[in-house]
Structure 1
Amino acid sequence: MSNLQAQVTSTDRAFHVEGYEKIEYDLIYVDGVFAVDNTELADSYRPYGRALMVIDETVLSLYGDAIRTYFDHHGLDLTVVPVQIRETAKSLETFETIVGEFDAFGLVRTEPVLVVGGGLTTDVAGYACASYRRNTPYIRIPTTLIGLIDASVSIKVAVNYGKHKNRLGAYHASQKVLLDFSFLATLPEDQVRNGMAELIKISVVGNSEIFDMLDEHGPDLLRTRFGHLDGSAELRAVGDRLTYAAIATMLDLEAPNLHEIDLDRVIAFGHTWSPTLELTPPAPFFHGHAINIDMALSTTLAEQRGHLTVADRDRVLGVMSRLGLALDSEFLTAELLADATGSILKTRDGLLRAAIPDPIGSCRFLNDVTTDELADALQMHKKLVEEFDRAGDGVDMFTGAHD
């Protein structure tokens, strides 16, 4: 939540207003957020006696009974708004549907909406909250890995517009985020893989210790859903330590720059060319695969520039490949890179600001990459990744009816 403090100075010909917005929100670990003896969630809605919940349909099918039992136990009326938001439905139409449900419910000004689901759900519902009466509070319960370690930290909410990813949005912090990693036990493997790309992002340019853990344990963490599905206690401990370090690193990097005033953003690694690439195929890429292709090319570029050794380049690409993440795509062409560069220059105020590792765990920004250099790096990259598993293709790269 936030509040604004402002002061006004004046002359006989002008007024000057200067304001500062205070932003505060909590990320709270909860073991079994819908366990009836856990009151963290219920306490937030007890003053209202009811809750409006926007929830992903798949999550509702898995946890609906437990959720209803929880709210009944605590004497709270629950209104459920199920949504199915794939990347193609991250749209103004879905946004308007959710806003209509706010009206039908008769949402009170200070009453927080409960948003349960992955990053797509929290993005669209969060944007609806940002727009409804200009500032409706909400509480987030992320249920995917990408939601738990990435979307939960940011205050950005958005919808796509046409083929432009997140073109319409706002900065709107939730009151609190309840982090319950037990949801990973029922998360499909393709969704876990999707989130692990974000862990690669954070680690390769921000935290080498996380990268070392991914290098050693990555495939086992993927297979066992970070120890929550048939995993050993030791592996569960590794998963807990890794995800905590990832959230802490994200907060260290993001908290001083929540409104992205500074456009040199470490966590924009993998987000230079991927926003154009992601929505290019007939069925869009999973976000994690799209940013991973961008990160893989950026890693090759970093080695070409002398900022990474060949051994470290191949180590990064190897971790990505062993997790089944895409290193390349037929949709990644010199023409697409040129178009994507033109687009991102507008977003980044005329500078490329391409994040690359220098070395693993640290970041450098490149502003002088030419179209010709990019085309040459791409040609080398495509030849290089042919030596990796699946010749650089990802496992389950594209969104489908099951996601």
Structure 2
Amino acid sequence: MGEVSVDLAQHRYTIHINAGGINRAGSLMNALPLGKKALIVTDENVGPLYAGTLADNLVAAGYQPEVLTVAAGEASKSMDTANIVFTQAIRMGLDRKSAIIALGGGVVGDLAGFTAATYLRGVPFIQVPTTLLAQVDSSVGGKTAVNHSLGKNLIGCFYQPSLVVIDPEVLNTLPERELKAGLAEVVKYGVIADRNFFAYLAANAEALLKRSPAILANVIETCCQLKAQVVAEDERETSLRMILNLGHTIGHAVEAAGGYSEYSHGEAVAIGMHAAAIVSRKLDMCAPEDMEGLKTLLGRLGLPLKAPGYQPEELMRYLARDKKVVSGEVSWILMTSIGQVKIIRGVPGEAVMAALAEIT
């Protein structure tokens, strides 16, 4: 079993990575000062597969869980759906020691985390991520949010989980498209922080696509370690943590322009990383072989590099509403090499438009 500690100034929690981990969730929760009522939030895809197993495990550990199933997909990251969760929590009589548990991917994690952060001004939050993207990225670090029609993740807060339980075995039921989407976030870690890890991914691309248990477990633990280090240094994203947004600036614009339905988050991040690499090259910040290396690996993993048919002008309008905009300037994460990035403000508009033209 792998364990990764996230050590923050005022909060500490552990990420447990273990095959069959869902069947240990109750015993792990018993090590925390929790009440016995718990609300499991899941979606229509994950609930039929794992909600019963998790609920039974919690009952065996002495808890009184209830399951709330929401619609699958980005549309559930909304204030309307959050209100449904609030209503269920109130009806159950959840108090400030009762846990809200996210069982699902990034959408469920964001939704459940946002409601846990705001219900009774904050109740314990537990992550049981079931997608690769959530296991390596969104379940760690405490970002919670819902979307607005004018932009992604515009309504939210930082709220750390009390516990993260990662079971790599659940990835066996993950659709291939979602596995590949998660690999986009995996590649991101190699680009922003670890050239050797990037090389490891390139050497094991086919094994990852075949879901090698050993390779996946190693990749999940490495990504969690890298993210834990960044979050521990900059919990509130005032400086260093911004590097985790590589590919997300244009990626979020692509998601929004497609109505959050055409490209998944991971696919949009892959397109966004390609675009960021193009901008980096146009500003002469990285070598051509680094940009090509990123493109090649994303392609080998079956990820999109372009969003054909999208309009650069429309994407620019979404960029202007990005939550990372400060005083009218977008904070860009750009490559200097594989394994190293810089936070850049004031990127020339013509460089951005040129990159958008190349990916549409």
* TM-score over 0.5 for the pair: yes
Say whether residues 1:309 and 2:287 are aligned partners: yes
2:101 maps to 1:124: no
How far apart in 2 are the matches of 1:331 and 1:123? 30
Please tell me whether the aligned partners of residues 321 and 327 of structure 1 are also in contact (alpha carbons under 8 angstroms): yes
1:290 matches 2:268: yes
Over 3 Å counting, the alpha-carbon distance change for 1:184 and 1:204 in structure 2 is: same
Measure how far apart 1:158 and its partner are.
0.6
CA contact (8 A) 1:345 1:351 kept: no
**Aligned residue in 2 for 1:17:** none
2:163 counterpart (152, 176, 181): 176
State yes or no: 1:91 paired with 2:78.
yes
- Give the corresponding residue for 1:261: 238
| Displacement after TM superposition at 1:44 (Å) | 5.1
Give how far 1:151 is off.
Answer: 1.0
SS of structure 2 residue aligned to 1:290? helix
Question: For 1:195, what is the secondary structure of its paired residue?
Answer: helix
If the length of structure 1 is used for normalisation, what is the TM-score? 0.80
Residue 259 of structure 1 and its aligned partner are, at CA, apart by 1.2
CA contact (8 A) 1:33 1:41 kept: no
Greater CA drift, 294-303 or 96-105? 294-303
**Residue identity matched to 1:368:** G
The residue aligned with 1:8 is: none
- SS of the equivalent of 1:174 reads coil
1:264–1:353 contact (8 Å) kept in structure 2 = no
Aligned to 1:162: 149
CA RMSD of aligned residues (A): 2.5
Structure 1 residues 309-388: aligned runs within 5 Å: 309-344=287-322, 347-379=325-357, 381-382=358-359
Q: Which amino acid aligns with 2:75?
A: T
2-structure distance, mates of 1:299, 1:240 = 28
Range that drifts further, 185-194 or 306-315: 306-315
Task: Letter of the 1:32 partner, please give it.
Answer: G
Q: Distance in 1 between matches of 2:283 and 2:340?
A: 15
The 3-state SS of whatever aligns with 2:322 is: helix
Cα distance, 1:58 vs structure 2: 2.1
- Taking only the aligned residue pairs, the percentage that are identical comes to 26
Per the TM alignment, residue 144 of structure 1 is displaced from its structure 2 partner at its CA by 0.8
Contact map agreement 1:281 1:331 (CA 8 A) in 2: no
Q: Using the alignment, how far apart are the partners of 2:72 and 2:352 within structure 1?
A: 34
Tell me which of 250, 257, 265 is aligned to 2:227.
250
Residues 320, 39 of structure 1: alpha-carbon distance in 2 compared, 3 angstrom cutoff: same
1:266-277 to 2 correspondences below 5 Å: 266-277=243-254
Q: Which letter maps to 1:217?
A: N
Residues 90 and 159, structure 1, Cα contact 8 Å, conserved in 2: yes
- Cα distance, 1:337 vs. partner? 4.1
User: Gapped runs of 5+ residues in structure 2?
Assistant: 1-7
Which residue is 2:14 aligned to?
A: 26
TM-score, normalised relative to structure 2 = 0.89
Amino acid at match of 2:335: P
- Cα deviations by residue, 1:319-359 (Å, 9 ceiling, x for unpaired): 11111111111254331343234223863444332111111
CA contact (8 A) 1:71 1:78 kept: yes
Paired residue total: 352
**Cα–Cα, structure 1 residues 341 and 62, in superposed 2: closer, same or farther, change >3 Å?**
closer
Partner Cα distance (2:352, 2:310) in 1:
11
Deviation at 1:55, TM superposition (A): 2.1
SS of equivalent residue, structure 2 residue 85: helix
SS of 2:337 mapped into structure 1: coil
Q: How does 1:2-13 map to 2 (within 5 A)?
A: none
- 339-348 vs 277-286, greater mean Cα deviation: 339-348
Give 2:19's aligned amino acid: D
Question: SS at the partner of 1:344?
Answer: coil
SS in 1 for 2:22: coil
Q: Which amino acid aligns with 1:242?
A: V
How far residue 84 of structure 1 moved from its aligned partner, in angstroms, is 2.3
Give the drift of 1:29: 2.5
Q: State the structure with more CA Rg.
A: 1
- Change in Cα spacing, 1:195 to 1:342, as seen in structure 2 (3 Å) is same
Q: State the 4+ residue runs in structure 1 displaced beyond 6 angstroms.
A: none
Q: Check the 8 A contact 1:68/1:78 in 2, yes or no.
A: yes
Is the alpha carbon distance of 1:357 and 1:81 closer, same or farther for their aligned partners in structure 2, counting shifts above 3 Å? same
Cα separation, partners in 2 of 1:265 and 1:45, compared to 1, 3 Å: closer
AA aligned opposite 1:158: A
CA contact (8 A) 2:247 2:272 kept: yes
Contact 1:277 1:331 in 2 (8 A): no
Q: Aligned residue for 1:199?
A: 186
Superimposed CA distance per residue, residues 194-246 of structure 1 (whole angstroms, 9 cap, x where no aligned partner): 11111111111211122112212123312x23x24xxxxxxx2x332222221
Which residue does the alignment assign to 1:9? Answer: none
Change in Cα spacing, 1:57 to 1:45, as seen in structure 2 (3 Å) is farther
